[in-house]
A = this chain, B = another copy of it.
Amino acid sequence: MNLRPLTTLTIGALVAGALATTGHAQAPVRPAATPKWLDAYREPASRLIGAAMVDNFAWQRLATLTDTIGNRLSGTPELDRAIEWATAEMKKDGLENVHTEPVTVPHWVRGRESAEIVEPAHHQIAMLGLGDSVGTPAGGIQAEAIVVRNYQELEAAGSRVRGRIVVYNVPFTDYDRTRPYRSDGPSRAAQLGALGSLVRAIGPAGLRLPHTGGLNYSANAPKIPAAAISSEDADRLQRMSDRGDRIVLRLQMEAHFDPDASSANVVGEIRGREKPDEFVVIGGHIDSWDVGAGASDDGGGIVATWEALRLMKNLGLRPRRTVRVVLWTNEENGGRGGQAYRDAHKAELAKTVMMLEADSGLFRPVSIAVTANDTARNTIRTITSLLKNIEADAVTPGGGGSDIGPSVAAGNIPAVSYEGTGDYFLLHHTNADTVDKIAPVDVSRAAAAIAVVSYVVADMPQRLGVSAE
């Protein structure tokens, strides 16, 4: 165990805070701004928060997953083992209707890989091939580099790109702004005749820590091998380029696709006591890239959402509607789990009152992001007032997630996400995405917050988004 300093203290303070808010000896104090219907949920919320905060069960479960299975790329035995393990554990938890739903997934294989500077002086580059990249010919490719800071510089280089390996040295600002150089950069370079593409890792500058991640080849360019390199190596190449050095790189990648494989989404439920055919669906993705341990991306998300159901079960809280947890497969390189869920549950989408995804880290500060109509958003705000003392009461726009995306779009379903970005993009898709980076209290907080929001939305008389009056 690797309790961060103050974690135990923090938990103590949080529990004390939660109990103070919901103290048994005193009459509940209703904040002026919250409607009367919420009062019925103060007691179950206090029990969910207390049960989540009193121990580190969820963090320990995450540690077990990431230590004894590790990372879980689509098509690997590790993902199969994780699916079997989660199914068995859900049954042990006493969740209902626990089952898997088959999904056929791609199976990309990294193989051995390396990148090095050959001229002006030999240097081994810290690299990770990009997910779904093609490999190099068996002997690798060796070519002069051209270093660019953005697409403008690439386009300006024009015909000088032909026969070169393009190095995108794009400083990280945020994920949405820099990711396109990873996903589209290889084909943009190939359109100009490049032989390979290297991209400065999409994340804050680390410690020789490349970030992998998927690419999207476009149809109108040859597929060229592509990899991420550490910020240090990108800086080094930039300095060499600025000095006018002739830079020669060598890239070797065995990356390729094996035939599609069988995989599955894992499903567990607390069946609704009055409207079992209406659903609150929550979850994250069980697959990960083939590096690190997939702890923040997305072991934490699946464990925290799953824990929400375990807490309800343990406390005997059975809401009006069904709460379902789904551990989607193949989020990282295909999204086929989310698509398969939409297709398999088409008939239920109209009766799904909310979907929630946790795939943005569990770090502080936390927010509950919502994409829904004003009524729904206000209701979520009302519910999260119960989460003030565990610092999870911020509600922001932009709720969603790649696994819930297909269903949300097809069913026009209110979309919620648990957002705790913090160090997420420092660790994202790297070998350092391990459980030691996650404080136990952060998993407990996420489980508590998700449990309270899911339980109340599943239980309240009015459907989320429909006015109570």
Whether a CB of chain B sits under 8 angstroms from the CB of A120 is yes
How many of chain A's residues have a CB under 8 angstroms from any CB in B? 36
Q: Which positions 164-212 of chain A face chain B at CB distance < 8 Å?
A: 205-209
Contact call A239/B121, Cβ cutoff below 8 A: no
- Majority-rule SS of A interface residues: loop
Whether a CB of chain B sits under 8 angstroms from the CB of A232 is yes
A2 CA to B232 CA, complexed, in Å:
10
Whether a CB of chain B sits under 8 angstroms from the CB of A84 is no
A208-B209 contact given A236-B434, A436-B231, CB 8 Å threshold: yes
Contact call A207/B207, Cβ cutoff below 8 A: yes
Whether a CB of chain B sits under 8 angstroms from the CB of A277 is no
Q: Which of B232, B426, B436 contacts A432 (CB 8 A)?
A: B232
Whether a CB of chain B sits under 8 angstroms from the CB of A460 is no
B residues near A426, Cβ cutoff 8 Å: 207
A431 CA to B124 CA, complexed, in Å:
10
B residues near A122, Cβ cutoff 8 Å: 70
A245 CA to B64 CA, complexed, in Å:
11
Contact call B121/A70, Cβ cutoff below 8 A: yes
Q: What's the nearest-Cβ distance from chain B to residue A147, in Å?
A: 12
Whether a CB of chain B sits under 8 angstroms from the CB of A453 is no
Whether a CB of chain B sits under 8 angstroms from the CB of A394 is no
B residues near A155, Cβ cutoff 8 Å: none
Whether a CB of chain B sits under 8 angstroms from the CB of A67 is yes
A432 CA to B230 CA, complexed, in Å:
10
B residues near A232, Cβ cutoff 8 Å: 432, 434, 436
The contact string, 1 if C-beta is below 8 Å from chain B, for chain A 408-439, is 00000000000000000011001110101000
Contact call A207/B209, Cβ cutoff below 8 A: yes
Chain B residue with the shortest CB-CB distance to A169:
B2
Contact call B209/A121, Cβ cutoff below 8 A: no
Contact call A121/B431, Cβ cutoff below 8 A: no
Q: What's the nearest-Cβ distance from chain B to residue A377, in Å?
A: 36
A24 CA to B63 CA, complexed, in Å:
65
The contact string, 1 if C-beta is below 8 Å from chain B, for chain A 1-13, is 1100000000000
Contact call B70/A123, Cβ cutoff below 8 A: yes
| Chain A residues within CB distance 8 Å of chain B | 1-2, 63-64, 67-70, 120-123, 126, 205-209, 231-232, 235-236, 238-240, 242-243, 245, 292, 426-427, 430-432, 434, 436
7 shortest interchain CB distances as A-B pairs? A207-B432, A208-B431, A235-B436, A232-B434, A68-B121, A208-B432, A2-B235
